[in-house]
């Protein structure tokens, strides 16, 4: 038994030489065939297990990706139908106030519940996307809802993106108002205005950069 274990797991040459020298030369051939068959069987079984597991994981990943793409396309089509239903005028824009009121009914709640979304989350998203414009278009609606759909981290990133965009647009409007109402008198006020404009431009650039990073991370 010890010899067989040594032949199987350890250094098989010394036992085989002793058997060949003390018993018969045929033991060398037997041990060689035994080692080849056993090692070949072990290698094949091990390879088969690893290959089967690798194929299973790859297949699971492919199926998951395919299922995710199908779900995304299905949700986009569903949201498009919802927007077209809300867009009674057919001009491609819907009032945020009307949309917020109409998504409160039970049927709309079921639609968003099917996408793992709460109506309150959608209402908050619509308010942030509108940014005082009172209307949103179809692309904004679909991309915003699809970005909101997911885990809490994705939802938080979407809100941060919208807040950053709203802050950038507000800063643009404030800058335009200051420029239109300011009257530079001499060189010093003019230099002060230039410094103020430069500061606002840097702030806007920082906000846009932050929004773009979040935007790209969400894949919108």
Number of domains the chain contains: 3
Q: Among 38, 71, 104, identify where a domain stops.
A: 71
* Local confidence pLDDT in tens for the 220 residues of the chain: 666 666 666 676 777 777 777 888 888 788 778 777 777 777 778 778 888 888 777 777 777 778 778 887 888 888 888 888 877 777 778 877 777 787 788 888 887 777 777 777 777 777 766 655 677 788 878 887 777 765 544 555 656 666 666 666 677 777 777 777 765 544 444 444 444 555 556 555 655 555 555 545 445 5
Whether pTM exceeds 0.75: no
Q: Among 135, 150, 165, identify where a domain stops.
A: 150
Same-domain status, 157 and 142: no
Non-local (6+) Cβ contacts of 112 within 8 A are 103, 118, 119, 122
Closest by CA to 197, choosing from 215, 211, 182, is: 182
Range of the domain at 31: 1-71
Same-domain status, 177 and 201: yes
Q: Containing H/E element for 25?
A: none
């Amino acid at each position: 038994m010890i010899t067989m274990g040594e032949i199987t797991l350890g250094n098989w040459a010394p036992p085989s030489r002793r058997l060949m020298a003390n018993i018969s030369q045929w033991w060398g051939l037997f041990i060689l065939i035994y080692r080849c068959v056993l090692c070949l069987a072990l290698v094949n079984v091990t390879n088969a297990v690893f290959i089967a597991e690798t194929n299973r994981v790859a297949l699971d990943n492919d199926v998951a990706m395919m299922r995710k793409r199908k779900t995304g396309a299905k949700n986009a089509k569903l949201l498009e139908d919802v927007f077209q239903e809300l867009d009674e005028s057919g001009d491609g824009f819907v009032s945020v106030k009307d949309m917020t009121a109409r998504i409160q009914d039970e049927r709309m709640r079921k639609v968003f519940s099917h996408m793992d979304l709460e109506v309150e989350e959608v209402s908050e998203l619509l308010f942030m996307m509108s940014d005082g414009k009172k209307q949103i278009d179809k692309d904004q609606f679909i991309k915003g809802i699809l970005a909101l759909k997911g885990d809490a981290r994705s939802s938080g990133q979407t809100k941060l993106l919208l807040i950053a965009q709203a802050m950038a647009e507000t800063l643009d409007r404030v800058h335009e108002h200051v420029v239109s109402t300011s009257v530079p008198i001499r060189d010093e006020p003019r230099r002060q205005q230039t410094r103020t404009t430069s500061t606002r431009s840097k702030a806007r650039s920082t906000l846009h950069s932050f929004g773009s990073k979040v935007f790209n991370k969400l894949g919108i």
